[in-house]
Amino acid sequence: MALTDIRARIARAEAAAGRPAGSVTLIAVSKTQPPDRVDDVLAQGQRVFGENYVQEAQARWTDRRAAHPGVALHMIGPLQSNKARLAAGFFDAIHSLDRPSLARRLAQVGDDTGALPTLFVQVNTGAEPQKAGVLPDEVDGFVAECRRSGLTLAGAMCIPPDAADPVPHFRLLRSIAERNGLPGLSMGMSADFETAIAEGATHVRVGSAIFGARQATGELPS
């Protein structure tokens, strides 16, 4: 089965990198996947899933979460500030914290509720104008601003440019995270997760390699 193969490959990559077994969290990217595929992966014991949109995730996961204790949902797509409260109440982690207005909104939600999901700063390592994320030379200031707002940050996330060698981008993200005291590295997708693990990834986001190809939606690969 595809999920079994991915888990085995992650275990081999951990071992090859001299890292403890289980040190990498597999996020099964379920966004846009048909219900039967999601249910099949759930039946195989996977409990960490990635989604792009708040309402889509609520429709897909509200009942499934109740039926499958232990499911953790990670938001990996862009988050509108006006959806911050909804997202914070539904997701266990948000990987797309990318601008001061969103940071301020999440800080307010945290003040109001006393709790927030695990937060990753999205870094636009390729400085691509069409892609979300904090530019590399602005991350240090952004992290400091987030912390002044009272946010606790768990890590950093990146999506390297299509067709580019991902290694320089993974290494850049790791250096940014290290100097800012961010322990988590959300990097690596279906085509390069083993490389990401070798470069220190703590979370890999794998979609098509688990579920099979999705219908074309114009979204970034996973």
Give the residue among 204, 198, 206 at the shortest CA–CA distance from 14. 198
Give the residue among 36, 80, 16, 35 at the shortest CA–CA distance from 54. 80
What pLDDT, on a 0 to 100 scale, did the predictor assign at position 213? 79
The alpha-helical segments, DSSP class H, found in the chain are 2-16, 35-43, 54-67, 84-90, 100-113, 139-148, 166-179, 193-198, 208-211
Domain assignment present for 217 = no
DSSP 99: S
Domain assignment present for 172 = yes
Domain total in the chain:
1
pTM: 0.94
Which amino acid, one-letter code, is at 213? A
The confidence band for 12, taking pLDDT boundaries of 50, 70 and 90, is: very high
Residues 89-123 pLDDT 10s: 999 999 999 999 999 999 999 999 999 999 999 99
How many whole angstroms separate alpha carbon 60 and alpha carbon 91?
Answer: 13
Domain assignment present for 195 = yes
Which amino acid, one-letter code, is at 204? V
Q: Which residues of 165-183 are buried (b: 16+ CB within 10 A; e: fewer)?
A: ebeebbebbbebbeebebe
What pLDDT, on a 0 to 100 scale, did the predictor assign at position 217? 45
219: pLDDT strictly greater than 50: no
CB 140 within 8 A of CB 153: no
Domain assignment present for 102 = yes
Cβ neighbours around 75 below 10 Å, total: 26
Domain assignment present for 63 = yes
DSSP string, 72-86: EEEE-S---GGGHHH
What CATH code is carried by the domain that includes residue 128? 3.20.20.10
Domain assignment present for 220 = no
How many whole angstroms separate alpha carbon 143 and alpha carbon 139?
Answer: 6
Residues 148-163 pLDDT 10s: 999 999 999 999 999 8
Q: Which domain holds residue 168?
A: 2-211
Q: Residue 50 belongs to what H/E stretch?
A: strand 48-51
Domain assignment present for 51 = yes
Give the residue among 213, 206, 214 at the shortest CA–CA distance from 188. 206
Domain assignment present for 82 = yes
Residue with tokens 């990498």: 24
